[in-house]
Structure 1
Amino acid sequence: MKYATRMAAATAILMATALPALAAGQLNIYNFGLYTPPDLVKKFEQAYDVKVTVTEYDSNESAIAKIEAGGHGFDIIMPSAYVVPTYIQKGLLLKSEPSSMSNFKNVDPKWVDVTWDSGRHYTVPWVWGTTGVMVNTKVYKGDINTSAIILDPPAELKGKINVVPAMNDVIDMAVEYVGGQQCTTDKAVLKAARDKLIAAKASWASIDYASFEKFIKEDLNASVFWSGAAMRIRAENPGFAYGYPKEGFSLWQDNVAILADAKNVENAKLFLNFIMAPENAALISNYTRYGNAIVGSEKFMDPELPNAPEMNIPAKFKDAAHFQITCPPDVQQIYTKIWTELTK
């Protein structure tokens, strides 16, 4: 399409959706590492003549600390569901009313009235997935659907295990492994989880966002991991498989929100509406290998994705799944103490 024709078409679309007119400028995105599709960014830049800068972070905790400190210069953040209420309570997000945007009609109804942002006044969905265990089945021949791989490691995996530095994911896994429930206030359970983690650490190689290459080359053979990341590893080394711990595992969703102190608000609103288009949501899933919440995106997704084992919880383990929630402040403080001790 010629430039003039493309400009006219883009303007007509924007007028029809009641969003701001095409505004050349910038958009600064703050997102998890390896989580922002370059082709999505390029498509948005070309459609709206906006230069996008992506800065990456390694955890929800480090991201919110930077946002609270101020002076960051970011417009958009991608918080996980369990931290969204904290962002809202602290006044860190703009009430951008995504439900008034034209593409909001594409959001699957089950992802609209969510507990962390009922009615979606602040956030739109990015992707969803699970937190489980990834293991090299060429090295380990046992049951892959158990947290014992991490918390009571078999001899063949000792020294080759990584644990991602995601506090709630890891502590929730340990709490459920010892028979508790996430965000428990039972001090005996929390102590048992803490003791289990400290004892298991001796068998781990790292607590890190290890590079995919370390798994592909089999320098590491097991990890607490996320479903989409595990699928990306399996594509390069088919010996790796993703397990759903029968003791309990987390479902989660990451979200997109505009920061309260954003400088490029109108461009940020354009981006939120843009990613709710089915073909654009598919670009996100194709890159990250996670599910999305946009109806109609499946026909644009890579054909192997919808039926991939990492995208489909086996029926016998569905009762072990729970959606990750925001722990009360007193419990979160205990989690933080456990995590500090574990990572020191």
Structure 2
Amino acid sequence: MTKFDRAGASGLRALACSTALSLAALVAGASMAGAAELNVYNWGEYINPEVLKKFEEETQIKVNLSTYSSNEEMLAKIQGGATGYDVVFPSVHMQDIMAKLDLLEKTDINTYEGFKNIDPAFLRAKSDPKGEYCLPYAWGSVGIFYNRTILGKDITGWKDLIETVKAKGLKFTLLDDMREVLAVGLMLNGHKINSTDPAELQQAADTIIAMKPDVAAFTYDTRPMVQSGDVAAGHFFVGAMVDVFGNEKDLGYVIPEEGATMYQEDACVLKSAPNKENAIKFLQFYTRPEIVALNVSQQTNGTANVPARELTPEKIKNSKEINPPAETMARLQIFEDLGPALRQLDRVWTKVKTAQ
């Protein structure tokens, strides 16, 4: 081999080595980039962007936020093979369903020091009574958001609203949500919201069908419709208090005297999460009272984090709608996983939606 050949071979080996090192660096960089991400899948507009920004600043973990509009949409996407999501926020009954399907990772968040801030009354998931999997995130009631200028009065509940809109020729909206709407019919007839009794469900459906001439739409787009006066009121979540605080002269929110549902979402890590360590870091981050208070101040939901309640703005802290007294809490009911019996609700819901 000539001097030139040896030099050429040496150069090729050096180039190959350099290329290999570059590729290794790229792979390592890609791996580090992957490790420095968190993919959050939450309800639309259900987290203060400032919370995510603070998490990114403190941890150098990039947060990617995707949203859904219902528990069922979220579950269908994950069961349908969607990958890449790390943290999800199911309602309590959906958490129980996901636990049965073995979709949730055990995080041991209850062993983290910040978990002492959580009110044990909010460990509502039957599948997770100790908080070994998920962290209570937010809760609230589902009541009536109304325009008192259009109605000409404050209202006390469903019967009062229905009588008022009928007398004045006005309209209101109901949520496009099977369980929430049927729950209204059940409560108006004195039944529990988790009833699967066929006669009680039919009675609830008949009650809602009787309302339909006064119902403008089954929709989640309630807030702008009530604010503009296009409808007098709407079936909606307590998060509408953000609008009430902005215009207390015209707007109101009431937990109906007949009773109401309450929701609670928990922050859970998926078993399929590609960034489990980062996801657990986020759960730990969200036990901090000042972080929770930052979220609540924008979301106007209730929180299970006891110290955080004292850090929220006075209007929120003192709001009987956001933080109801004990006698009002006694009128609130939370959904449970109904299992196969859910098909009975599907049937009566179809009747409600198709009735003329």
Q: CA deviation at 1:114?
A: 5.1
In the other structure, the counterpart of 1:39 is 50
- SS where residue 117 of structure 1 aligns? coil
In the other structure, the counterpart of 1:16 is none
The yes-or-no answer on 1:105 pairing with 2:116 is: yes
User: Per the alignment, do residues 122 and 146 of structure 1 end up closer, same or farther by CA in structure 2, a change over 3 Å counting?
Assistant: same
Counterpart of 1:39 in structure 2: which amino acid?
A: E
Q: Which has the higher helix share?
A: 2
Q: CA deviation at 1:120?
A: 0.7
Q: CA deviation at 1:287?
A: 1.4
Counterpart of 1:88 in structure 2: which amino acid?
A: A
Listed one character per residue, the Cα deviations across residues 102-121 of structure 1 (whole Å, up to 9, x for unaligned) are 32122123234753520012
Structure 2, unaligned runs of 5 or more: 1-32
Q: CA deviation at 1:142?
A: 5.4
User: Per the alignment, do residues 140 and 198 of structure 1 end up closer, same or farther by CA in structure 2, a change over 3 Å counting?
Assistant: same
Q: Aligned partners of 1:180, 1:194: CA distance in 2, in Å?
A: 12
Q: CA RMSD in A?
A: 2.4
In the other structure, the counterpart of 2:26 is none
Q: Aligned partners of 1:90, 1:338: CA distance in 2, in Å?
A: 26
- SS where residue 316 of structure 2 aligns? coil
Q: Aligned partners of 1:280, 1:209: CA distance in 2, in Å?
A: 28
In the other structure, the counterpart of 2:252 is 241
Q: Is the 8 A contact 1:179 1:189 kept in 2?
A: no
After the TM superposition, which residues 20-31 of structure 1 pair with which residues of structure 2 at under 5 Å, given as runs?
25-31=36-42
Counterpart of 1:331 in structure 2: which amino acid?
A: A
In the other structure, the counterpart of 2:203 is 192
In the other structure, the counterpart of 2:271 is 260
The yes-or-no answer on 1:174 pairing with 2:185 is: yes
Counterpart of 1:235 in structure 2: which amino acid?
A: F
Match of 1:155 among 161, 166, 174: 166
Q: TM-score, normalised by structure 2?
A: 0.83
Counterpart of 1:274 in structure 2: which amino acid?
A: F
Q: Aligned partners of 1:172, 1:255: CA distance in 2, in Å?
A: 22
The yes-or-no answer on 1:121 pairing with 2:139 is: no
Listed one character per residue, the Cα deviations across residues 77-135 of structure 1 (whole Å, up to 9, x for unaligned) are 10111211101001111111211223212212323475352001211011111111121
Counterpart of 1:44 in structure 2: which amino acid?
A: F
User: Per the alignment, do residues 267 and 317 of structure 1 end up closer, same or farther by CA in structure 2, a change over 3 Å counting?
Assistant: closer
- SS where residue 95 of structure 1 aligns? coil
In the other structure, the counterpart of 1:203 is 214
In the other structure, the counterpart of 1:286 is 297
The yes-or-no answer on 1:251 pairing with 2:262 is: yes
- SS where residue 261 of structure 2 aligns? strand
Counterpart of 1:257 in structure 2: which amino acid?
A: C
Between the two proteins, what is the percent identity of the paired residues?
29
Moved more, 304-313 or 59-68: 304-313
The yes-or-no answer on 1:231 pairing with 2:224 is: no
In the other structure, the counterpart of 1:15 is none
Q: CA deviation at 1:143?
A: 6.1
- SS where residue 192 of structure 2 aligns? coil
Counterpart of 1:260 in structure 2: which amino acid?
A: K
Q: CA deviation at 1:175?
A: 0.7
Q: Is the 8 A contact 1:153 1:203 kept in 2?
A: no
The yes-or-no answer on 1:332 pairing with 2:334 is: no
Q: Aligned partners of 1:135, 1:215: CA distance in 2, in Å?
A: 6
- SS where residue 72 of structure 2 aligns? helix
Q: Aligned partners of 1:54, 1:43: CA distance in 2, in Å?
A: 14
Match of 2:228 among 196, 217, 233: 217
Larger radius of gyration, structure 1 or 2?
Answer: 2
Q: Aligned partners of 1:290, 1:74: CA distance in 2, in Å?
A: 24
Structure 1, unaligned runs of 5 or more: 1-21
- SS where residue 219 of structure 1 aligns? coil
Q: Is the 8 A contact 1:111 1:293 kept in 2?
A: yes
Q: TM-score, normalised by structure 1?
A: 0.86
- SS where residue 146 of structure 2 aligns? strand
